[in-house]
Amino acid sequence: MYAHPIKFLELLNGQVQYVVPRWQRRYCWGQSDIERLVDDLVTIAAAGSNATHYGGTLLTFPDPGAAGVVTTIRVVDGQQRLTTVSILLGCIAAELGEAGECDGWTRQIILDDRLTNPGKPSEKRRKLRLQDGDEEEYRRGLEDDSGGAGAVSQAWRIARRLVARHDVALLLRGLDRLRVVSIGLDDKEDPQQIFESLNATGRPLTESEKVKNWLLMGLPDAEQQDLHDNHWLRILYNTGARVSEVTGLQAGDLQIGLRNGRHALVTLRGKGGKIRQCPLWPRTEDILAELVRGRSDGDAVFLSRHRKPYTRFGVYRLVERCAARVPPLAAKAITPHVVRHTSACHLLQAGVDLNTIRAWLGHVSLDTTNIYAEIDLQMKAEAMALCDAGQSVPDQPWKEDKSVIAFLNAL
């Protein structure tokens, strides 16, 4: 571990990107928190020229899978302040406008030197990368669109009002005097233990959060995302469930870790309150067992980092994001219902009878399930068409075939 005091603005200097990992809580600062920070900046700016303000600590460690021109650093603690300062800088840049200048700062200098890495790929372009809905709202805020309903969009709106109310020169001077103690961890130290210690005096971590942190903390950021998405895709495909059935799952609906050779099951609540059970693959069982460890039966299986159950919209976004990573699917409209249809078609192609598929999907009528038999027949017909040798042609004596004669003459 190494620690040193540094100007907050210097943290954002150079080709660097701070990543808030999936195991971190989402942005949650409200109006009073942002107002307090702005008041501190104005106060310290109006004080003597040697005055500085301690803005807390920033605990980081390098991304184990990151390498390249842009240095990727994961944030263990301090992301709330880091996000808020970045939002304030974006609002100051907007306030300066295209032609504005203050103490050597211009809109373009702030954007290019402290908020973005110009010319880099889109995933490395912003110096701060949040997760899920926070990331989208932060990106839109940089583009002067703060119309979202989440905490990050609200922070953009609050910060814009505060920046418009104060002297930009004072805010920039205050930011220049803002100091933090930057603490970096190496690969021999345990960020999980440190993270728990830092949060010991705040809202306590649940056992499920601790398990999730332990599972994800040692993985590169891209692998964290893949692991999270894999939970969803596997359960959707394994069960063929509707989105509402999966978002409503509770820990008590999982029958896992059974003995005496009994198969793991999930209880799904479908349309009209109808209940059915679906078997789980062993790998699905293992993933879900880790996901719900330490939770009570009434807790939702799938929680966002906001510790709330996923919404239908959130699952649709997740499936779209996964499909976009696969080039053949990138231009197609892949939804959770497409995954449900895929499960049904693959069950049929594997030889499962229609009545079992009807029960698997929770269809009331077998007529609804028959569509998959029609789809399967259509696929077979299309495959046959690809093998069609074409229309027959009249037989022709080989002696009249000039190409054959030319070939023989060339021997």
Catalytic residue positions, numbered: 242, 271, 337, 340, 363, 372
DSSP label at 396?
-
Q: Which among 22, 86, 16 has a CA at the least distance from the CA of 303?
A: 22
Report yes or no: 37 and 81 within 8 Å, Cβ to Cβ. yes
In angstroms, what CA-CA distances link 311 with 248, 254, 306? 9, 20, 12
Quick count: other Cβ atoms within 10 Å of Cβ 370? 14
CA distance 212 to 209: 5
Burial class for 344, CB neighbours closer than 10 Å (0-12, 13-18, 19+): buried
Q: Which residues, in sequence order, are CB contacts of 5 under 8 Å at separation 6+? A: 179, 180, 181, 182
> Phi-psi category of 119—alpha, beta or left, where left has phi over 0 and alpha has psi -120 to 50?
left
CA distance 323 to 186: 35
Helix 221-239 / helix 282-292 crossing angle, nearest 10 deg: 120
Q: Which residues, in sequence order, are CB contacts of 151 under 8 Å at separation 6+? A: 26, 27, 28, 29, 30, 134
Number of H helices, E strands in the chain: 18, 11
CA distance 60 to 83: 14
Quick count: other Cβ atoms within 10 Å of Cβ 311? 12
Which ranges in 240-311 belong to alpha helices (H)? Answer: 243-247, 282-292
Burial class for 194, CB neighbours closer than 10 Å (0-12, 13-18, 19+): middle
